[in-house]
Structure 1
Amino acid sequence: MWEKATGVSKMLLKLICFVLCTLIAPNLTGLLGEDAPLPAPQNISILSTNMRHFLMWSPVTVQGETVRYSVEFQGEYEREYANESWIPICECSLITATVCNITEDISATVAYNLRVRAVNGAQRSEWGTLKGFFIRNTTSLTPPLMKVMADGYHLLVELENMGPAFQFCILYWEKGQESRMQQKMVKDVSSTIHLATMEAAAEYCVKAQTYVETINRSSSFSQTQCVRAPGNRSMWLITVLMSSAGFAVAALTLPFLAWKTRKIFQYSCCPIAVLPDTLKVPEPPTQLILCGREEAEQCDLMVHVMPPEEVLRLWIQETL
């Protein structure tokens, strides 16, 4: 009887084990898998070229699932004055790509720390942190793309527009006269840049480098490009001499022509009228004028008023 009971018990145990293995174990494995944390992103690095910064990392793989990532940064201010807080990068929140453009957030020349974590539904990985700090003045600067042209006797250059933070140092010289090399600093490269007026048939060379004032760094120089001016050198010299002579003659004759023209207009428009001698009235002598005045005064003194009786008496006397 005991042996039969023992056999039945073994059968029941085997049945229970079968049920557990075939029905409950898969569900238990699924539950344990959901609770298991995601691995943190690995191989975190930064690619920084020409003041554009990108954070990159290796993907976290979950079979049949799309893993997303979030990125945060911590600057000098956050470490020292904001309780070591972290700031999320909005453009890199829950993204599927394994690269994040952090250029706009790295706005000062200080040490930055960066971190990234993986997200899959309700699962969150630990933060994967960049080894060491990133400072933007370690960015790699490259020379600008450049095109050198000869428009007649004008030496022109076109430069790649690399953004408002960039300036360009341009060196140019006549080939074979490197000791007389000239330099020009430019910032606005939206249009073609005029460098110099070339001599006929002479060959000129140009090279350029980028410069970023905010980090006080320059790139290496670009490959030298050379162009040749058209025409014959002797004819060019003759043209220059004739132009100089014409300018000198014009500088000397123009003042004389201006003075002569002014005189002609003066006598044509406002002539000076001269009276003949016969029409001129001589001025009276001062002595005569004075004499006339004295006689008039004497006449004024001799005039006196006579009464009517005296006038009648004098008339009768003259009549008789």
Structure 2
Amino acid sequence: MQSTVFTILFVKLLCLTLHGMTAVLAELPSPSNIRITSINMGLVLEWDPPQNHTGNLTYRSEYKGKSIRNSYQVVCLDTTALCCDFTRHLNKFGVYTFQVRAEREGETSHWVETKEFVMDEHTTLGPPSVTLVSSGANIEVSIEDPVLRISEFKEIYNHATFNVAYWKEGQEKKVTRMNGIQLHEVVLELEQWTRYCFQVWVVTERFFKQSQPSNVTCESTAKAKDRPWVMALGMFVVMAVSVPLVVLAFWHCYRVVRFLRPKVKLPGHFTVYLLDPQCSSILALQSSPQPDEVYHEVLPTWTQG
């Protein structure tokens, strides 16, 4: 009798053990390689599918703030994607924890949780925008701050400077660096007829963060332009020399014209006399052709006495 009872208990215990082992073996594996990608205050949680599992899985991902009273909030549910974008749910100064699990037809894996993530400290700053404008031998470098997804750059990193590196194209090893620039526009006087390439970083005083480098941008210089005061002095010299020469030329021209076309006027009484009709006839006779004179040669007569 006792052996029979013992046998029954042993069978039941064996069944329970096998059932437990089956349940354990049937449990879904969890996602692996969970990671946070955050650039310019955007935040995306990414993960890899469970290892050695090829079934049709969906995923559930959540987040919560640092406060004890906060509980996890669902953002992505029943998604087959291996990522979830939390950006629009977060605060620029928030501290958050994220978690994700795999699901399939009512079965779920264990949660996989991240470490605390501080938005303004841990996010990566993207590259600034750089524009080059060439003017003679000068190149003006215009820099724009990275564009954040949930805030204005200056609202978080209000003390930031720029590091600028530039070099002649093809001479990347001979780099000139300028660090700690506070202005968004810098004008550099460089060699004429030379092509220069630039790259810029943002450095913040808050958390001493350095941004990703900007794209390499190149621009060519041309012939140097004279400075304004040099141009003004040159114009003054030209005017000081050319004006007297022009006046002198006009004076000589005037004298030549006066010589070739003198302005001589007859006295008034001559003008009246010449306008008289009798005088006019005399003038007409004087102006008519003169008749040929007829004359005979007279020979001298010598007398003896």
TM-score by length of 2: 0.49
Q: Comparing both structures, which one devotes a greater share of its residues to helix?
A: 1
TM-score by length of 1: 0.47
Q: Comparing both structures, which one devotes a greater share of its residues to strand?
A: 2
